[in-house]
Structure 1
Amino acid sequence: MNVNHKSDFRKSCIKKLEFSSRFSKFYKDKIIIKKLENLIDKSKAKNILLYIPLGTEVDTKPLINKLRKNKNKNIYVPFMYEDSFKIVKYRLPLHRKKFGIKEPNNSFYKAQKIDMAIIPIVGVDIIGKRIGFGKGMYDRFFDRLGYKPILVFTQLTLCKSDEILSEKHDIQADYIITS
């Protein structure tokens, strides 16, 4: 795999996402959130890892707020920790941290085993492996997790390579949900 090729693909996807997020983002978000709700119901996932979105990512905040009202669901989000992250229960207030990412306060609460993880992507390669922002945080997290929850990738508009750009350690989706 050519690292420059992966980097060029990442840059082109980010440009596509920035352009896409200017047009019909609210409408695309609603479509994707509805698909996520249906998948969560169908899978009967109880412990769900979501993300707090950046501007070009699917806005998961309405889904987080809806699921938090359900007493049978536990919502977790990533909390940057060392070279990866740990999962913490979603709660307010949120604070802007490294890379402009918002996070709740740190928690020493031991999270439940997650059933499903909803993960933003920059793109995917031909075999459905995630191309992210290039920090490897999600890859390291899932490599260290010790079990595999259902992995769901989200993106406003699918950006897919027609070749293999991933490496062995890159995570692969069970589902990819776009508008």
Structure 2
Amino acid sequence: MENGHKSDFRKSCIKRLEFESRFSKIYKNKKIVKKLYTFIKNYRAKTVLLYVPMGIEVDVKPLINTLRREKIDVYVPYMVDDSFKVVKYRLPLKTKKFGIKEPNNSHFKGKRIDVAIVPVVGIDGLCKRIGFGKGMYDRFFYRLEYKPCIVFTQLKLCKTPEILSNDYDIQADYIITN
């Protein structure tokens, strides 16, 4: 894998995602969130790792609210050093490093995550994640002592048949997009 090529692929995917019109994003968000909800319910997940979305990512905030109303435990990343830990989703959210919003730090009670919904910038030929290039999700899942069901999500599929990933990059069990 040539690192420059991975970087070029990442940049082209980000441009495609930024180009999406506001109307298109709203429509695609609703459709994808509905698919994610159906997946989580069919999987019978009791604990779900989601994320607080940034502009080019699927807006999962309505899904977070729905799952919380249904008494499903929702956790989100909280950045720590070179990775993150999971914390229970709750308000208020504060903007932190890289412009990412997070709830306050809390202690994770050790519940196992059943399903992890992970945003992607792109996907390579092995269905491995191309993210923003910081490696936080890769380190988190590598250090986790078990493997939850990993679902990649993206507003507009940006996939290459080429293998751009490293051995440590995380791989999807499922991909849900428009």
TM tier, smaller: over 0.9
The residue number in structure 2 matching 1:67 is: 67
d(CA) in 1 for partners of 2:113, 2:21: 29
1:32-71 matches, within 5 Å, as 32-71=32-71
d(CA) in 1 for partners of 2:63, 2:43: 16
Pairwise CA RMSD of aligned residues? 0.9
The residue number in structure 2 matching 1:132 is: 131
1:97-176 matches, within 5 Å, as 97-176=96-175
User: TM-score with structure 1 length normalisation?
Assistant: 0.97
- The CA deviation string for residues 24-49 of structure 1, in whole angstroms up to 9 with x for no partner, is 10000000001001100110011000
> Which residue identity lines up with residue 53 of structure 2 in the other structure?
P
d(CA) in 1 for partners of 2:21, 2:174: 21
d(CA) in 2 for partners of 1:99, 1:175: 27
1:127 deviates by 1.2
d(CA) in 1 for partners of 2:70, 2:23: 32
1:158 deviates by 0.3
d(CA) in 2 for partners of 1:68, 1:23: 27
The 8 Å contact of residues 75 and 89 in structure 2, kept in 1 or not, is answered as yes
For residue 24 of structure 1, give the secondary structure of its aligned residue in structure 2.
Answer: helix
The 8 Å contact of residues 21 and 156 in structure 1, kept in 2 or not, is answered as no
User: TM-score with structure 2 length normalisation?
Assistant: 0.98
The residue number in structure 2 matching 1:89 is: 88
The residue number in structure 2 matching 1:25 is: 25
1:120 deviates by 0.3
d(CA) in 2 for partners of 1:20, 1:173: 24
d(CA) in 2 for partners of 1:124, 1:142: 17
1:21 deviates by 5.0
d(CA) in 2 for partners of 1:124, 1:2: 15
Identity of aligned residues (%): 68
- For structure 1, the residue ranges without an aligned partner over 5 or more in a row are none
The 8 Å contact of residues 93 and 104 in structure 1, kept in 2 or not, is answered as yes
> Which residue identity lines up with residue 69 of structure 1 in the other structure?
R
1:146 deviates by 1.1
1:8 deviates by 0.3
- For structure 2, the residue ranges without an aligned partner over 5 or more in a row are none
